[in-house]
Amino acid sequence: MKRGSPRETKRPISCLFLSDIHYGQIIEIGNHRTFDPEICKKMFNRIVENLNFYRDEDDEVLYIFLLGDMVEGNSNYKEQISESIEVTRQLSEITGILIGFVFDLMESYKEIKIIGVIGNHGRIDRRRDITKENWDRIVYNQLQLAFKNQPEVDVIVCEDFIQRVQVGDHIFIISHGDHTRCWGGIPFYGLRRDISKFFLDLGKFDTMVLGHFHTFAELFINGVHLIMNGCFPPSNPFSKRVIKTHPIQVQLFLKVLGHDIIETRKIWLNTGNNESEILRL
Protein backbone atom coordinates (compact mmCIF):
# COMPACT_ATOMS: atom_id res chain seq x y z
CA MET A 1 0.00 0.00 0.00
CA LYS A 2 1.08 3.59 -0.60
CA ARG A 3 -0.06 4.80 2.83
CA GLY A 4 0.68 1.81 5.04
CA SER A 5 -1.32 -1.36 5.36
CA PRO A 6 -5.05 -1.10 6.22
CA ARG A 7 -4.61 -4.34 8.18
CA GLU A 8 -3.09 -2.29 11.01
CA THR A 9 -6.29 -0.33 11.67
CA LYS A 10 -8.68 -1.25 14.47
CA ARG A 11 -11.57 0.31 12.61
CA PRO A 12 -13.94 -1.58 10.32
CA ILE A 13 -12.72 -2.06 6.76
CA SER A 14 -15.33 -1.75 4.02
CA CYS A 15 -15.26 -4.11 1.04
CA LEU A 16 -17.16 -3.70 -2.23
CA PHE A 17 -17.23 -6.54 -4.76
CA LEU A 18 -18.06 -5.62 -8.37
CA SER A 19 -18.49 -8.34 -10.97
CA ASP A 20 -20.15 -9.05 -14.29
CA ILE A 21 -20.77 -5.46 -15.31
CA HIS A 22 -20.82 -6.47 -18.99
CA TYR A 23 -20.55 -2.84 -20.01
CA GLY A 24 -21.56 -2.35 -23.62
CA GLN A 25 -24.22 -5.05 -23.68
CA ILE A 26 -27.63 -3.99 -24.99
CA ILE A 27 -30.71 -5.93 -23.92
CA GLU A 28 -34.15 -5.29 -25.37
CA ILE A 29 -37.29 -7.19 -24.47
CA GLY A 30 -39.87 -6.32 -27.09
CA ASN A 31 -39.75 -2.54 -27.41
CA HIS A 32 -38.41 -2.10 -23.90
CA ARG A 33 -34.68 -1.63 -23.33
CA THR A 34 -33.66 -3.15 -20.00
CA PHE A 35 -29.89 -2.67 -20.17
CA ASP A 36 -27.52 -0.40 -22.06
CA PRO A 37 -24.58 1.93 -21.23
CA GLU A 38 -26.82 4.68 -19.84
CA ILE A 39 -28.65 2.28 -17.54
CA CYS A 40 -25.29 0.89 -16.42
CA LYS A 41 -24.08 4.39 -15.49
CA LYS A 42 -27.16 4.90 -13.33
CA MET A 43 -26.36 1.65 -11.53
CA PHE A 44 -22.95 3.02 -10.52
CA ASN A 45 -24.65 6.12 -9.14
CA ARG A 46 -26.90 3.84 -7.14
CA ILE A 47 -23.89 2.03 -5.67
CA VAL A 48 -22.30 5.33 -4.57
CA GLU A 49 -25.57 6.36 -2.90
CA ASN A 50 -25.73 3.03 -1.04
CA LEU A 51 -22.11 3.21 0.12
CA ASN A 52 -22.60 6.73 1.42
CA PHE A 53 -25.70 5.55 3.29
CA TYR A 54 -23.89 2.55 4.82
CA ARG A 55 -20.76 4.47 5.77
CA ASP A 56 -20.19 5.19 9.45
CA GLU A 57 -18.00 8.03 10.71
CA ASP A 58 -15.12 5.69 11.55
CA ASP A 59 -15.12 3.97 8.12
CA GLU A 60 -11.96 5.22 6.42
CA VAL A 61 -10.70 2.32 4.33
CA LEU A 62 -12.44 0.80 1.31
CA TYR A 63 -11.38 -2.23 -0.70
CA ILE A 64 -12.89 -2.50 -4.19
CA PHE A 65 -12.61 -5.99 -5.63
CA LEU A 66 -13.14 -6.15 -9.40
CA LEU A 67 -14.04 -9.75 -10.17
CA GLY A 68 -13.97 -9.67 -13.96
CA ASP A 69 -16.29 -9.19 -16.95
CA MET A 70 -16.01 -5.43 -16.78
CA VAL A 71 -16.99 -5.35 -20.45
CA GLU A 72 -19.26 -7.48 -22.60
CA GLY A 73 -16.51 -8.22 -25.13
CA ASN A 74 -17.21 -9.59 -28.59
CA SER A 75 -15.88 -13.15 -28.84
CA ASN A 76 -17.96 -15.24 -26.45
CA TYR A 77 -20.93 -16.20 -28.65
CA LYS A 78 -21.90 -15.51 -32.25
CA GLU A 79 -24.74 -13.04 -31.61
CA GLN A 80 -22.61 -10.94 -29.29
CA ILE A 81 -21.39 -8.34 -31.78
CA SER A 82 -24.93 -7.39 -32.80
CA GLU A 83 -26.03 -7.19 -29.13
CA SER A 84 -23.33 -4.79 -27.90
CA ILE A 85 -21.48 -1.61 -28.73
CA GLU A 86 -18.00 -1.89 -30.25
CA VAL A 87 -15.21 -3.03 -27.95
CA THR A 88 -13.18 0.18 -28.23
CA ARG A 89 -16.14 2.09 -26.79
CA GLN A 90 -16.67 -0.56 -24.14
CA LEU A 91 -13.08 -0.18 -22.92
CA SER A 92 -12.85 3.60 -22.98
CA GLU A 93 -16.27 4.23 -21.47
CA ILE A 94 -16.14 1.71 -18.60
CA THR A 95 -12.65 2.95 -17.72
CA GLY A 96 -13.97 6.52 -17.53
CA ILE A 97 -16.95 5.40 -15.44
CA LEU A 98 -14.74 3.51 -12.97
CA ILE A 99 -12.37 6.46 -12.64
CA GLY A 100 -15.24 8.81 -11.88
CA PHE A 101 -16.72 6.24 -9.52
CA VAL A 102 -13.50 6.05 -7.50
CA PHE A 103 -13.14 9.83 -7.39
CA ASP A 104 -16.68 10.05 -5.99
CA LEU A 105 -15.77 7.55 -3.27
CA MET A 106 -12.55 9.42 -2.43
CA GLU A 107 -14.78 12.11 -0.95
CA SER A 108 -15.90 9.61 1.71
CA TYR A 109 -12.90 7.29 2.24
CA LYS A 110 -9.34 8.25 3.14
CA GLU A 111 -7.83 5.15 1.60
CA ILE A 112 -9.03 3.00 -1.32
CA LYS A 113 -7.43 -0.21 -2.51
CA ILE A 114 -8.55 -1.69 -5.83
CA ILE A 115 -7.76 -5.31 -6.72
CA GLY A 116 -8.73 -6.73 -10.12
CA VAL A 117 -8.95 -10.27 -11.48
CA ILE A 118 -9.93 -11.10 -15.04
CA GLY A 119 -13.13 -12.66 -16.38
CA ASN A 120 -13.99 -14.81 -19.38
CA HIS A 121 -15.83 -12.06 -21.29
CA GLY A 122 -12.55 -10.17 -21.41
CA ARG A 123 -11.02 -12.75 -23.73
CA ILE A 124 -9.65 -11.10 -26.85
CA ASP A 125 -9.47 -14.28 -28.89
CA ARG A 126 -10.44 -17.86 -28.03
CA ARG A 127 -7.12 -19.06 -29.45
CA ARG A 128 -5.05 -16.94 -27.04
CA ASP A 129 -4.20 -17.17 -23.35
CA ILE A 130 -7.11 -15.51 -21.55
CA THR A 131 -5.00 -14.64 -18.50
CA LYS A 132 -2.46 -12.62 -20.51
CA GLU A 133 -4.55 -11.05 -23.26
CA ASN A 134 -7.76 -9.82 -21.71
CA TRP A 135 -9.86 -6.67 -21.99
CA ASP A 136 -10.32 -6.60 -18.20
CA ARG A 137 -6.57 -6.34 -17.76
CA ILE A 138 -6.49 -3.33 -20.07
CA VAL A 139 -9.18 -1.61 -17.99
CA TYR A 140 -7.28 -2.33 -14.77
CA ASN A 141 -4.00 -1.07 -16.24
CA GLN A 142 -5.71 2.17 -17.23
CA LEU A 143 -6.98 2.56 -13.67
CA GLN A 144 -3.41 2.14 -12.43
CA LEU A 145 -2.26 4.95 -14.71
CA ALA A 146 -5.16 7.19 -13.74
CA PHE A 147 -4.40 6.97 -10.02
CA LYS A 148 -0.61 6.66 -10.01
CA ASN A 149 -0.29 10.16 -8.53
CA GLN A 150 -3.08 9.69 -5.99
CA PRO A 151 -1.41 8.44 -2.77
CA GLU A 152 -4.76 7.47 -1.24
CA VAL A 153 -5.58 5.03 -4.06
CA ASP A 154 -3.71 1.82 -4.80
CA VAL A 155 -4.58 -0.34 -7.82
CA ILE A 156 -3.34 -3.94 -8.03
CA VAL A 157 -3.74 -5.94 -11.24
CA CYS A 158 -3.57 -9.65 -10.44
CA GLU A 159 -1.41 -11.75 -12.72
CA ASP A 160 -3.33 -14.97 -12.06
CA PHE A 161 -7.04 -15.75 -12.36
CA ILE A 162 -7.26 -16.10 -8.58
CA GLN A 163 -5.90 -14.01 -5.72
CA ARG A 164 -5.48 -14.45 -1.95
CA VAL A 165 -6.10 -11.17 -0.10
CA GLN A 166 -5.89 -10.39 3.61
CA VAL A 167 -8.28 -7.72 4.90
CA GLY A 168 -7.71 -7.10 8.59
CA ASP A 169 -7.20 -10.63 9.89
CA HIS A 170 -9.71 -12.11 7.44
CA ILE A 171 -8.39 -13.93 4.38
CA PHE A 172 -10.35 -13.80 1.13
CA ILE A 173 -9.93 -15.73 -2.08
CA ILE A 174 -11.26 -13.80 -5.07
CA SER A 175 -11.81 -15.11 -8.58
CA HIS A 176 -14.18 -14.60 -11.46
CA GLY A 177 -15.44 -18.17 -11.19
CA ASP A 178 -15.35 -19.36 -14.79
CA HIS A 179 -12.80 -22.02 -13.77
CA THR A 180 -15.51 -23.88 -11.83
CA ARG A 181 -17.09 -26.84 -13.61
CA CYS A 182 -20.82 -27.43 -13.51
CA TRP A 183 -22.77 -30.67 -13.55
CA GLY A 184 -26.32 -30.32 -14.84
CA GLY A 185 -25.86 -26.56 -14.75
CA ILE A 186 -25.18 -26.63 -10.99
CA PRO A 187 -21.71 -25.44 -9.86
CA PHE A 188 -21.69 -26.49 -6.20
CA TYR A 189 -19.89 -29.82 -6.61
CA GLY A 190 -17.30 -28.03 -8.75
CA LEU A 191 -16.91 -25.37 -6.06
CA ARG A 192 -16.31 -28.04 -3.44
CA ARG A 193 -13.48 -29.44 -5.56
CA ASP A 194 -12.07 -25.95 -6.21
CA ILE A 195 -12.03 -25.05 -2.52
CA SER A 196 -10.12 -28.23 -1.65
CA LYS A 197 -7.59 -27.52 -4.41
CA PHE A 198 -7.14 -23.87 -3.44
CA PHE A 199 -6.52 -24.86 0.18
CA LEU A 200 -3.61 -27.01 -1.01
CA ASP A 201 -2.26 -24.44 -3.48
CA LEU A 202 -2.83 -21.17 -1.60
CA GLY A 203 -3.13 -22.10 2.07
CA LYS A 204 -5.97 -21.60 4.51
CA PHE A 205 -8.57 -18.92 3.82
CA ASP A 206 -11.87 -17.81 5.36
CA THR A 207 -14.10 -16.56 2.55
CA MET A 208 -14.20 -17.10 -1.19
CA VAL A 209 -16.03 -14.57 -3.37
CA LEU A 210 -16.65 -15.06 -7.08
CA GLY A 211 -18.90 -13.86 -9.86
CA HIS A 212 -19.60 -15.40 -13.28
CA PHE A 213 -22.84 -17.22 -12.43
CA HIS A 214 -25.00 -14.06 -12.42
CA THR A 215 -26.77 -15.13 -9.27
CA PHE A 216 -26.35 -14.40 -5.57
CA ALA A 217 -25.74 -17.20 -3.10
CA GLU A 218 -24.17 -17.56 0.31
CA LEU A 219 -23.24 -20.93 1.77
CA PHE A 220 -20.54 -22.86 3.61
CA ILE A 221 -18.51 -25.59 1.90
CA ASN A 222 -15.81 -27.56 3.72
CA GLY A 223 -15.78 -24.91 6.46
CA VAL A 224 -15.27 -22.06 3.97
CA HIS A 225 -17.68 -19.15 3.66
CA LEU A 226 -18.60 -18.92 -0.04
CA ILE A 227 -20.36 -15.97 -1.63
CA MET A 228 -21.45 -15.76 -5.26
CA ASN A 229 -21.85 -12.17 -6.38
CA GLY A 230 -24.66 -11.00 -8.65
CA CYS A 231 -24.44 -9.07 -11.91
CA PHE A 232 -25.42 -5.80 -13.59
CA PRO A 233 -27.48 -6.93 -16.63
CA PRO A 234 -30.94 -8.47 -16.30
CA SER A 235 -32.26 -11.57 -18.02
CA ASN A 236 -31.69 -11.85 -21.77
CA PRO A 237 -32.23 -14.51 -24.44
CA PHE A 238 -28.66 -15.84 -24.07
CA SER A 239 -28.90 -16.31 -20.30
CA LYS A 240 -32.24 -18.07 -20.69
CA ARG A 241 -31.06 -20.34 -23.50
CA VAL A 242 -27.52 -21.20 -22.41
CA ILE A 243 -27.02 -20.40 -18.74
CA LYS A 244 -30.63 -21.26 -17.86
CA THR A 245 -30.69 -18.91 -14.87
CA HIS A 246 -32.47 -15.73 -13.92
CA PRO A 247 -29.79 -13.11 -13.19
CA ILE A 248 -29.86 -11.39 -9.80
CA GLN A 249 -28.86 -7.74 -10.15
CA VAL A 250 -27.03 -7.22 -6.88
CA GLN A 251 -23.48 -6.45 -5.81
CA LEU A 252 -21.89 -7.42 -2.51
CA PHE A 253 -20.83 -5.00 0.23
CA LEU A 254 -19.45 -6.04 3.60
CA LYS A 255 -17.38 -4.80 6.54
CA VAL A 256 -14.52 -6.59 8.27
CA LEU A 257 -13.34 -5.93 11.82
CA GLY A 258 -10.33 -7.97 12.84
CA HIS A 259 -11.08 -11.51 11.73
CA ASP A 260 -14.86 -11.10 11.61
CA ILE A 261 -17.26 -10.03 8.91
CA ILE A 262 -19.53 -7.79 10.99
CA GLU A 263 -21.94 -6.63 8.31
CA THR A 264 -23.01 -8.00 4.93
CA ARG A 265 -25.37 -6.33 2.49
CA LYS A 266 -26.35 -6.76 -1.11
CA ILE A 267 -26.87 -3.64 -3.17
CA TRP A 268 -29.82 -3.98 -5.52
CA LEU A 269 -29.16 -2.44 -8.93
CA ASN A 270 -32.58 -2.81 -10.53
CA THR A 271 -35.11 -0.11 -9.73
CA GLY A 272 -37.65 -2.70 -8.61
CA ASN A 273 -35.87 -2.91 -5.24
CA ASN A 274 -35.75 0.41 -3.42
CA GLU A 275 -33.74 -0.74 -0.42
CA SER A 276 -30.74 -3.01 -0.01
CA GLU A 277 -31.21 -6.09 2.10
CA ILE A 278 -29.31 -6.72 5.33
CA LEU A 279 -28.08 -10.31 5.18
CA ARG A 280 -26.19 -10.58 8.45
CA LEU A 281 -25.26 -8.31 11.36
CA distance 113 to 182: 32
Span 185-212, average pLDDT: 91
Report whether 175 contacts 210 (CB < 8 A): yes
CA distance 156 to 162: 13
Instruction: Check whether 68 has a pLDDT greater than 50.
Output: yes
Span 118-127, average pLDDT: 77
Span 176-198, average pLDDT: 87
pLDDT more than 70, % of the chain: 83
Instruction: Check whether 207 has a pLDDT greater than 70.
Output: yes
* CA-based nearest residue to 117, from 195, 174, 202: 174
Report whether 112 contacts 62 (CB < 8 A): yes
Spatial neighbors of 220 by CB under 8 A, at least 6 apart, are 226
CATH number of 12-161+230-280: 3.60.21.40
Q: What's the pLDDT band for 28 if we cut at 50, 70, 90?
A: confident
Q: Provide the pLDDT for residue 48.
A: 98
Q: What's the pLDDT band for 4 if we cut at 50, 70, 90?
A: very low
Amino acid at 275: E
**Is the pLDDT higher at 273 or at 220?**
220
Residue 16 to residues 60, 75, 100, 277, Cα–Cα distance (Å): 13, 28, 16, 15
Burial 90-120 (b: 16+ CB within 10 A, else e): bbebbbebbeebbebbbeebebbbbbbbbbb
Using H for helix, E for strand and C for coil, what is the string for 46-81?
A: HHHHHHHHHCCCCCCEEEEEECCCCECCCCCCCCCH
Q: What's the pLDDT band for 275 if we cut at 50, 70, 90?
A: very low
